[in-house]
Structure 1
Amino acid sequence: MPFKTDTHAFREKWISYIHALQDTICGALEGLDGKARFATDEWEREGGGGGITRVIADGNVLEKGGVNTSVVWGEVTDMMRGQLKLGSPGDGSAAKWFACGLSLVIHPLNPYVPTTHANWRYFELYDEEGNVSDRWFGGGSDLTPYYLFEEDARHFHGVLREAMEPFGNEKYPLYKKWCDEYFVNRHRDNEMRGIGGVFYDHLRPADAAEADRWFAFQQACGNSFLPAYVPIVLRRKDIPYGEREKEWQEIRRGRYVEFNLVHDRGTLFGLKTQGRTESILMSLPPRARWGYNYRPQPGTPEAELLDACLHPRDWMA
């Protein structure tokens, strides 16, 4: 049933938050790196809207990264109907759409510093009269280390859990499990690309009060990113490394590429609906490697990391 209230002000508040969060995260990461600066690319989308892509590269700490925002809208296409499992054209439920979100991926230089990914998004559908027929939030944050430090895993997951607890103690374990089951290379014996985090989608508010609560939940999750990630970078960025560690980092980055191009719904949705290719593929690392049938030696730090990717753990236990 269509929402009877105008959500224009709600959308604008979300857009303002996302742009402010982009500024905050980029400023913090530039300060962390100490050398590289984000380059800004503002773009327009044919069909409606545009975005701000910010990319950093070749820094002291960050080898490549991007913190992107987009505010886009348009007509619901047949491709989108298939991807989102919407009704048939003309049934009145979905004629136009709006989406706004922030997506980031950070690939550090030092193999002892983990890659991280996060996004927070809001989506609306409109019927032929312009009423909001459906809307939802989605997002999450996850960590992809190359070497396992349990202290880091507990810290990252602990910050995410703390951010979610005011909205219900069930949120973190539920969305942690969802993350463990989503970021998986099923073609490689259900191997996770990292040690997870939280992931959620289609958080649908039933009314304005619930919409405000989900908005606050998204803010709490978005604001938790820097406290969850930056302390880990500071602990690991100066650890010495050599060719062995770089080779393993590139092998694991290969797994990251496989997931994004084979399984990730957001990447596939963007590419299939004429999204901006450069912004979508910003998530891929600058260097990756595929060695034939590579297996780390038992008892090595590399084998320990792989075991954590094959057997999801409760880091809060």
Structure 2
Amino acid sequence: MSAAVFPTEVLSPAPSVATRRAEATRWIAGLHDELTSFFGRLDGGGTFTEDRWERPGGGGGVARVMTDGVTFEKAGINRSAVMGELPELAARRLGGRGAAAGATHFFATGVSLVVHPRSPKVPTVHLNVRYFELTDEHGNLTDSWFGGGTDLTPFYPHVADGVTFHRALRDMADKHHARFYPDFKQWCDEYFVNVHRDNEARGIGGIFFDHLRPDEASHDLDHAGVQAFVSDVARVLRHAYEPIVERRRHEAFNEAEREFQLVRRGRYVEFNLVHDRGTIFGLQTNARVESVLMSLPPLAMWQYSPRYAPDSFEARLVRMLEPRDWITDATGE
């Protein structure tokens, strides 16, 4: 298939491997800067510290972490551009169209964020976008694709917040293709679950996609069209998340609500360590551990077999995690 083209400058129809990767890396770096600025402003007083790192097998990244925030107890926004030879297990997990014979090499660049608010009335949010490619042992491109998504993890059953989040995602996605929101919402609902807890959802979903390739019959978008969609995913939190933060940041909360937030954070940790593809891929490819585990909250709790009264806010939150049509069903807790 043809190589991906990133419209930051005019490229030849068949850019070299180095040119293609440099363009992808600059694109991600620009999104990283935008997201850092956005969350710095949204927090209202905290600052990010920056940590640059290099990967022994090739490439590196930049981690930006806020731990002194006014609104956010911890906010991490990372970017990376890494390359190397894929271990067999990691290659199988990727699901890409790898080299037919010989060694399989990869290049991956992306930006990922996880933001854990102080208040249990404000949901945790996660977002990532990425570009991935595989080459054979001679450097010939065998596959390339985009992936990413964003999802919301509330700790209090505010249905209105789910409506705000999902309607913003729908409005953004519909500008690119009518099937993107419904298809990627379903993918998200099915992906972010703790299978070991009887498929309990991590949160109320959002959108999730992988192996999104240009010029496929399912969407008929070219390279620039796919990248434009992925760029809009990276920027959608201005409309999907900021209104929720502004709505909830000053609401009072009590100790029971804070404790439940920590319990639900524990479920978040379980998913990220047991099921998350990005975490598993990073650990299997010698990525920087601090960056891979950046998504974990500063505090979490595990209770033994908790039980909640049917009319409690905890029980209502658990019921709210069940997948629903957030666009049309805005009633009930």
Please indicate, yes or no, whether the TM-score normalized by the shorter chain is above 0.5: yes
1:253–1:85 Cα change, 3 Å: same
Match of 2:294 in 1: 282
The structure 2 residue matched to 1:143, chosen from 123, 134, 152, is 152
Q: Is 1:263 aligned with 2:272?
A: no
The residue identity in structure 2 corresponding to 1:104 is L
2:308 to 276, 286, 296: 296
SS at structure 2 position matched to 1:291: coil
When the two structures are aligned, how many residues end up with a matched partner?
Answer: 315
Distance 1:116 1:88 in 2: 32
Whole-angstrom CA distance in 1 between matches of 2:246 and 2:130: 28
Counterpart code for 1:45: R
Matched residue SS, 1:167: coil
User: Percent identity among equivalent residues?
Assistant: 49
Structure 1: which amino acid aligns with 2:88?
Answer: D
Q: 1:314 and 2:325 equivalent?
A: yes
| Higher deviation after alignment, 63-72 or 300-309 | 300-309
Question: Structure 1's 8 and 159: CA in aligned 2 closer, same or farther, altered over 3 A?
Answer: farther
CA offset digits 1:53-80 (Å, max 9, x no partner): 0000132111011000001111233333
The one-character-per-residue Cα deviations of 1:242-301 (angstroms, maximum 9, x if unpaired) are: 211110000100110111111111111111221111001110111111111102211112
Which secondary structure state, in structure 2, belongs to the residue aligned with residue 54 of structure 1? strand
Q: Structure 1 or 2: larger helix share?
A: 1
State the SS of the aligned residue for 1:113.
coil
Q: Deviations over 1:156-181 (max 9, x none)?
A: 11111111112211110100000000
> Partner amino acid for 1:312?
P
- The one of 29, 48, 51 aligned to 1:41: 51
Question: Pairwise mapping of residues 168-247 of structure 1 onto structure 2 (< 5 A)?
Answer: 168-206=177-215, 210-247=222-259
1:251 aligns with 2:263: yes
Quick one: distance in 2 between partners of 1:39 and 1:200? 30
**1:120 is the counterpart of 2:116:** no
Match of 1:21 among 31, 36, 40: 31
- Three-state SS of the structure 2 residue aligned to 1:151 is helix
Equivalent of 1:73 in 58, 80, 83: 83
1:154 correspondence with 2:163: yes
Provide the aligned C-alpha RMSD in A.
2.1
SS of the residue aligned with 1:69? strand
The one of 3, 26, 31 equivalent to 2:41 is 31
CA pair 87-30 structure 1, distance change in 2 beyond 3 A: closer
Q: Distance in 2 between matches of 1:217 and 1:12?
A: 20
Deviation at 1:8, TM superposition (A): 4.6
Q: Which runs of 5+ in 1 are unaligned?
A: none
Report what 2:107 is aligned to.
98
Q: What secondary structure is seen at the aligned counterpart in 1 of 2:241? A: helix
The aligned residue for residue 10 of structure 2 is: none
Question: AA paired with 2:151?
Answer: D
Structure 1 position 132 matched with structure 2 position 137: no
Residue by residue, what CA displacement relative to the aligned partner does 1:90-149 show, whole Å, maximum 9, x if unpaired? Answer: 715x53211000000000000000000010000011123322110010000000000121
Secondary structure at the aligned position of 1:168 is classed as coil
